[in-house]
Structure 1
């Protein structure tokens, strides 16, 4: 709706980037409070934060490039364009790997940290999807009865009523944040909150993909790239829950 919020001379303030920044800063401040509450070392948080963010951005861009490989020879700007072309799942995977490596190298309990941080990841994603809406990316299919018309200066097709997939996913992410915060006090083992996130996000993303109209990332046998990844991440979430609860039960019985 409003890709550029305002400009100062040649410098443009993009709504997508601003919403991403707001989401990250709010998420960081909330995680910092949790670290203080549970007596964790705050000095490590900053470097963990930068590692996860760096891994997330790298993973997001790499997965986008992979899904656009056939198009790159005809359009090399796909490799150099940093204004768009990011895949959320790549960011989740990249951030997960970067966080695991950092925790392993610094003697930190990854699964405990994962449970503390992951609700705030959902929160940041909620803000990010608002940025998607303002920029017009990740738009939905044509839908007259329940749609939004984007202007000519957005990334979405203009003059057509489109399903507001960005806002629906944003509401889902915010709702997931509150649910995971509530569930944190109910968890039975370390890593369960993270597993529930993987399962819930995978389900929500799988469904919303049917209503996406920007599937340049490809569709195979009726399913998008993100839907196939959703199936895999859901399986990982189920596996973590199964193993974690089994071990928790064994520990209580022993």
Structure 2
């Protein structure tokens, strides 16, 4: 379980009524958005749709409302006790810093992308008024801004599905024993899976709405780094994606607490350990504290990791890799936002991001210490090739992680895309290779 920032419970009648009111307001707002964003039926193929009729608005509002009511019913049954709603579980609403930061990162990225879309597709037109005058109005920018906000929903769904699928694949040996756990609320997410799922959703959205995918990607991809900058702070708060054990005297290091020290926002013990602590508390390997060297056998000056963390109530000092990547993502966002001013062709910023992020992620992975994220050793072991797995020790430099392998593929794809787009841009400009005479 993730550490809790604050846990809302709904045992009192007044609190249950407040939750019902909030759920009803949320469903009403969802239905209103369906009414407001309804589109009319095009008169002919290729033409802009006519203004929606009242019936079309009503049907759109009803469909949105039904979906919102279903989600609200599921949430209420989870949060409220059985005395307040049939089948209620009474779990309340635990608010995790991890979830808060992920949501903040997503909303921030979507808002910035929508603003950039409005600027990217700005198209001014003269609109006359009844007095014989008029004014210049942006007729395309606001539409593209709304389209980006609509796209954010599909990106959210695609990202969640993709990240969950890759997590299950990486940890398939754990789910093979009980495949129903794939659909459980527990478990983790993998960024690269989310990136792949979101990219597919964006591609199909661009095709459906007659948008240039590479132009859309150039606009949106820097905001992914902005979202990740905030999301990795959520990882730091939860103690996931932690770093390798740091040697004594390391300036930048962190200790993640166990249940005896982890507290909520009000200073109360949450009763839940950080994910890093939960992992190290079960780690039977040994560590030399002075050097941070991990051993599979006892040695002079070495102590068993699980015994050390049980005694101290925190993890061993580890590299704060979440902070490393958060800072790197912020720098990447600002650099690509600046580079957009000087782009020569669509796809340039997208390709640069693929290459830069792959390099950043591969570098950060060198300092990671959570073997749960999936490595070549774990993959070979899950496939039953124990002999080959033993030849690739967990601590070996060539025991690359799943993310490092994907980074290599992503860097190659980005470099290939950049080369092809540069070559095509040169040919269009008339500076391409000159054909040899016959």
Same fold per superposition (TM over 0.5): yes
C-alpha displacement of 1:74: 4.0
Compare 158-167 and 41-50 and name the one that shifted more: 41-50
Correspondence for 2:212: 109
After superposition, residues 60-209 of structure 1 pair within 5 angstroms as 60-74=163-177, 78-144=181-247, 145=250, 146-152=252-258, 153-157=273-277, 158-209=314-365
Structure with max Cα Rg: 2
CA distance in 2 between partners of 1:115 and 1:89 (Å): 18
What SS does structure 1 have at the residue aligned with 2:331? helix
Is 1:11 matched with 2:106? no
User: Cα distance 1:7–1:84, how it changes in 2: closer, same or farther (>3 A)?
Assistant: same
> Could you tell me whether the CA contact under 8 Å between 2:114 and 2:149 is conserved in 1?
no
C-alpha displacement of 1:160: 1.1
C-alpha displacement of 1:75: 6.0
After superposition, residues 204-223 of structure 1 pair within 5 angstroms as 204-220=360-376, 222-223=399-400
**Unaligned stretches of 5+ residues in structure 1:** none
User: Cα distance 1:7–1:160, how it changes in 2: closer, same or farther (>3 A)?
Assistant: same
In the comparison of the two structures, how many residue pairs are matched? 253
Correspondence for 1:25: 107
The structure richer in helix per residue is 1
CA distance in 2 between partners of 1:3 and 1:27 (Å): 25
CA distance in 2 between partners of 1:159 and 1:124 (Å): 28
| CA offsets 1:21-43 (integer angstroms, 9 cap, x no match) | 11111111111211222324233
Q: Which has the higher contact order (CA 8 A, sep 6+)?
A: 1
C-alpha displacement of 1:205: 0.7
Aligned-residue CA RMSD (Å): 1.7
List structure 1 runs of 4+ shifted beyond 2 angstroms. 38-43, 73-78, 80-84
> Could you tell me whether the CA contact under 8 Å between 1:65 and 1:78 is conserved in 2?
no
User: Cα distance 1:29–1:199, how it changes in 2: closer, same or farther (>3 A)?
Assistant: same
CA distance in 2 between partners of 1:217 and 1:159 (Å): 18
Correspondence for 1:234: 411
**Unaligned stretches of 5+ residues in structure 2:** 10-91, 123-140, 259-272, 278-313, 377-397, 432-438
| CA offsets 1:157-206 (integer angstroms, 9 cap, x no match) | 23311110101011111111001101111212101101111000000111
Is 1:46 matched with 2:141? no
> Could you tell me whether the CA contact under 8 Å between 1:143 and 1:162 is conserved in 2?
yes
Is 1:225 matched with 2:345? no
